[in-house]
Amino acid sequence: MNMDKPVRRVAIFALLLFFGLMAQVNYVQGSQAEDLRTDSNNARQYADPLKSPRGQISAGGEVLVVSERFKEDAEKYSRVYKDGPVFAPITGAFTTSGTASQVERAYNSLLAGKDRRITQQRWFDTFIGKKAEGANVELTIDPDAQRTAYAQLKAKTQQGRRGGAVVMDIKTGAIKVAASWPSYDPNEVAPQTGDKGAKRLEQLEKGDGVIRPLVDNALSQTFPPGSSFKAVTSAVAMERLNLSISSSVLTGQLILPESGRPLPNSHDSGSCAGTAPLKGAFAESCNTSFAKMALDMGIQQLHDGSAKFGFGERIKVEPDMFSAQSAVPVSVTDSKGKTVETGKDGTARSGIGQENVRATPLQMAMVGAAVAHDGKIMNPYVVQKVRAKDQSELYNASPKEFGEAMSGDHADQLAEMMRAVITEGTAKNLQGMRIAGKTGTAEQDPASGIPNSRWFVGFSPIENPRYAFAVVTEGSGDGATNAGPIAGAIMAKVLKK
């Protein structure tokens, strides 16, 4: 007996739906599985943190993070961090609440053995129910230099305030140091700590005053860069105002156009007595010179020129690991939600790295890198290699250019100006340390008890540089004495390699 035509149509339609469903399931489980599993919004990728061993994280041949079996329960694993507070800005933490940060998050699927590069190689283990082992991650960090940076920041930063330091290879972008004070110990919030760790994590998230230990001060916090920003102002002015190292610039008194108030220099002698070559104004950090340049260019040109260095964007360091956004604002939103344009007085102050200008140490290290590398900036990164347990290479960093901030000629002139800061300018105390750079002392709000942001930004060695750096500490005094020596101590360690 023949099937009725309507029934046949329904049967065919049902079969088509069935095959369509099968195709969709296979597509999701096959093509999209990895993307869904590693999506930052998928909390399940961190579920059951005690049940599986994660791969090691190492740097310079030294193991910094490892998973160990519980003594009480061999089926569970703890996460152990060597010198946790020292390396936390890079390693991040794998926590009792099932979250992860920094490299622990960026390379979670590889560390957990869930990445397709591992599961496809070990498909038989998966088939028989054996868990794939996590891969090992090798960092670009110099452990000895990182420890030195942490100790120096701790010693030089005013109590209850913050400090950060970054060193990067100018030719590759590899980050050698990313240190922060204060920091936190990932061991205190690791999976094995249970409820105690959860309470500690909650305390760290709340912080105390300006101290937010979970927000590192190397990559994830911004500060007013003060006079260290004059390197950026100079670079933009060389391009937009056709200035050179020998151009005569105003160094005497400048009356701000809106308020009618004078913008002071730290001194009114030497190069800051009236007019001087740009090199002298830079070496002695004459505020009026760079405020006048900013006024001549306007805030929009200063903003656009700074963008070539990375200002205005979050810098991608690794997958799902970004820096905070540095900024040279054309306008800001006030407490009432109203947009306020940066006026002429604000433009002048922006030229000397104050007003609303903000920068991370990473961003200012990128400025130093542009000066030392013919105007080019390489994209910063902290992971060099990832290896499976059988030592097969799953990932090897390939240096990439971030952008060209200025011409090679302008970079050479700025490098000479940074050398002059050491030989004849504001940082003569740093002679013999094999570093060149620009000091910065940004007054935040002394009347309210908020101390200065003290900077030193530059490169090392002085001739044929290989590394760029930025150091900031908060406290009284200036950058030459409270940031420069830290940079010198860090670079002494880095240059030993």
**Six-digit token string for 161:** 């305030």
Whether the per-residue pLDDT at 82 is higher than 90: the answer is yes
pTM of the model: 0.89
Instruction: Report the percentage of the chain scoring pLDDT > 70.
Output: 89
CA distance 43 to 36: 11
Q: Which residue in 307, 227, 237, 322 sits closest to 267, CA to CA?
A: 227
**Six-digit token string for 487:** 């940079």
Whether the per-residue pLDDT at 1 is higher than 50: the answer is no
Beta bridge partners of 136: 387
Q: Which residue in 289, 248, 284, 291 sits closest to 269, CA to CA?
A: 284
13 band by pLDDT with thresholds 50, 70 and 90? confident
CA distance 94 to 49: 8
Q: Which domains does the chain have, with CATH numbers?
A: 226-383+399-494 (3.40.710.10)
Whether the per-residue pLDDT at 130 is higher than 70: the answer is no
Whether the per-residue pLDDT at 26 is higher than 60: the answer is no
Q: In this predicted model, what pLDDT tens digit does every residue of 420-437 receive, in sequence order? A: 999 999 999 999 999 999
Q: In this predicted model, what pLDDT tens digit does every residue of 370-409 receive, in sequence order? A: 999 999 999 999 999 999 998 999 999 999 999 999 999 9
